[in-house]
Amino acid sequence: MAKYRLILFDFDGTLADTLPWFQSAFHVIGGKYGFKKLDPAEYEKLRDYDSKQILKALGVPFWKVPLIAKDMMSLMAQHIREAKLFPDTHMLLQTLSSRGLTLGIVSSNSEENIRHVLGQEITARILFYECGVSMFGKAAKLKKVLRQSRTAPDQALYIGDELRDLQAAKAAGIPFGAVSWGYNRAEALQRQVPTEMFCSMAEIVKRLA
């Protein structure tokens, strides 16, 4: 019997290899909003920080976050062809779906962008989409999907690559699965003791399906 029946995913850095694109766009957006200039070593250190620590390091006030997020999504829509899925994403979602698990995506990226990158065949396998979520709004969206799917919190798993994903899952009272290939370093995620830790998509399939 499957350990979980509802598997929710973050998108950027978890299913899609969009980090290189975000890094390039980061400099464009940073110039517009006056991010504090950091050297390469300092930027790399941000991968150990959660969202609030990153904003503080960049000197970005909270009130600017919605404006920045809107500009980032608009910029991505213009360059959507540059966004690529990780090689095993199709295999992962197809296998979990075919074995009876309910799938959903809870992401700050827009639903339009996500559906475009996933493609029609895979989007049809995703039952729940909660997209365009604010930086600190994922917990509420996770709870919403639990209600809509009538799933007990301990029967759901949220899989993501960032400390804010982990924090949102804890706030929603559901288990969290951290991936080692995304924005935050695996070591930073492990220090927060996620419920599950995955080093490959094949491992997700092996342990969940």
On whether both 103 and 72 belong to a single domain, the answer is no
38 and 101 share one domain = no
**How many CB atoms lie under 10 A from the CB of residue 166?**
23
Give yes or no: residues 187 and 100 share one domain. yes
Would you state the pLDDT for residue 62? Answer: 84
The reply to whether 114 and 68 lie within a common domain is: no
Q: Is residue 39 part of a domain?
A: yes
Whether 204 and 133 map to the same domain: the answer is: yes
Closest by Cα among 8, 184, 195 to 101: 8
Q: What pLDDT is attached to residue 60?
A: 86
For the chain, the straight-line distance linking the first and the last C-alpha, in angstroms and rounded, comes to 9
What pLDDT, on the 0 to 100 scale, is given for residue 103? Answer: 98
Cα 172 → chain centroid: 15
- My answer on whether 58 and 97 are in the same domain is no
Identify whether 1 is part of a domain.
no
Structural domain boundaries, residue 45: 19-82
Query: Does one domain contain both 12 and 47?
Result: no
Are the CB atoms for 108 and 140 separated by under 8 Å? no
Element (DSSP H or E) covering residue 159:
strand 156-160
Whether 157 contacts 128, CB under 8 Å: no
| pLDDT value for 25 | 76
Verify that 195 and 118 share a domain, yes or no: yes
Segments of the chain scoring below 70 in pLDDT: 1
Domain count of the fold of the chain: 2
Residue at a domain's end among 28, 57, 82: 82
